[in-house]
Protein backbone atom coordinates (compact mmCIF):
# COMPACT_ATOMS: atom_id res chain seq x y z
CA UNK A 1 0.00 0.00 0.00
CA UNK A 2 1.37 3.39 -0.96
CA UNK A 3 1.76 6.00 1.80
CA UNK A 4 -0.62 8.32 -0.03
CA UNK A 5 -3.33 5.63 0.01
CA UNK A 6 -2.96 5.04 3.75
CA UNK A 7 -2.97 8.75 4.57
CA UNK A 8 -5.89 9.43 2.25
CA UNK A 9 -7.90 6.57 3.69
CA UNK A 10 -7.31 7.78 7.25
CA UNK A 11 -8.24 11.35 6.31
CA UNK A 12 -11.34 10.15 4.45
CA UNK A 13 -12.55 8.14 7.44
CA UNK A 14 -11.96 11.06 9.79
CA UNK A 15 -13.73 13.40 7.39
CA UNK A 16 -16.76 11.12 7.20
CA UNK A 17 -17.06 11.07 10.96
CA UNK A 18 -16.71 14.83 11.21
CA UNK A 19 -19.29 15.29 8.43
CA UNK A 20 -21.77 13.04 10.23
CA UNK A 21 -21.22 14.84 13.53
CA UNK A 22 -21.60 18.23 11.84
CA UNK A 23 -24.83 17.22 10.12
CA UNK A 24 -26.20 15.85 13.37
CA UNK A 25 -25.30 19.06 15.19
CA UNK A 26 -26.94 21.27 12.56
CA UNK A 27 -30.14 19.20 12.55
CA UNK A 28 -30.30 19.11 16.34
CA UNK A 29 -29.73 22.85 16.69
CA UNK A 30 -32.44 23.45 14.09
CA UNK A 31 -34.87 21.35 16.11
CA UNK A 32 -33.92 23.11 19.34
CA UNK A 33 -34.79 26.41 17.68
CA UNK A 34 -38.29 25.07 16.92
CA UNK A 35 -37.77 24.59 13.19
CA UNK A 36 -40.04 22.04 11.49
CA UNK A 37 -38.63 18.51 11.27
CA UNK A 38 -38.48 18.58 7.47
CA UNK A 39 -36.42 21.76 7.56
CA UNK A 40 -34.02 20.32 10.13
CA UNK A 41 -33.61 17.23 7.93
CA UNK A 42 -32.91 19.35 4.85
CA UNK A 43 -30.36 21.44 6.75
CA UNK A 44 -28.68 18.32 8.10
CA UNK A 45 -28.60 16.64 4.68
CA UNK A 46 -27.20 19.79 3.08
CA UNK A 47 -24.50 20.02 5.71
CA UNK A 48 -23.64 16.35 5.24
CA UNK A 49 -23.38 16.77 1.47
CA UNK A 50 -21.16 19.85 1.68
CA UNK A 51 -18.85 18.39 4.32
CA UNK A 52 -18.59 15.08 2.44
CA UNK A 53 -17.69 16.93 -0.76
CA UNK A 54 -15.08 18.93 1.14
CA UNK A 55 -13.65 15.71 2.55
CA UNK A 56 -13.39 14.15 -0.90
CA UNK A 57 -11.66 17.20 -2.34
CA UNK A 58 -9.33 17.42 0.64
CA UNK A 59 -8.30 13.78 0.50
CA UNK A 60 -7.72 13.99 -3.25
CA UNK A 61 -5.48 17.02 -2.73
CA UNK A 62 -3.67 15.23 0.09
CA UNK A 63 -3.00 12.18 -2.08
CA UNK A 64 -1.65 14.34 -4.91
CA UNK A 65 0.57 16.30 -2.53
CA UNK A 66 2.02 13.13 -1.02
CA UNK A 67 2.64 11.63 -4.47
CA UNK A 68 4.36 14.85 -5.58
CA UNK A 69 6.56 14.89 -2.49
CA UNK A 70 7.55 11.27 -3.06
CA UNK A 71 8.34 11.95 -6.69
CA UNK A 72 10.54 14.90 -5.75
CA UNK A 73 12.32 12.89 -3.07
CA UNK A 74 13.37 10.14 -5.48
CA UNK A 75 16.91 10.46 -6.77
CA UNK A 76 17.08 11.69 -10.33
CA UNK A 77 19.04 9.85 -12.98
CA UNK A 78 22.01 11.82 -14.12
CA UNK A 79 22.26 12.56 -17.80
CA UNK A 80 25.38 11.43 -19.61
CA UNK A 81 27.48 14.13 -21.23
Q: What is the pLDDT of residues 52-65, one digit of tens each?
A: 999 999 999 998 99
The CA-atom distances, in angstroms, between 75 and each of 33, 70, 71, 72 are 59, 10, 9, 8
Assessment of whether the complete model's pTM goes beyond 0.95: no
Q: Are 26 and 43 in contact (CB under 8 A)?
A: yes
What is the mean predicted confidence (pLDDT) over 64-76? 84
Amino acid sequence: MKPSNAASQAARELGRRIAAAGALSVALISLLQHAPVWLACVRGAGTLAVLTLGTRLGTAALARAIDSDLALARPKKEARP
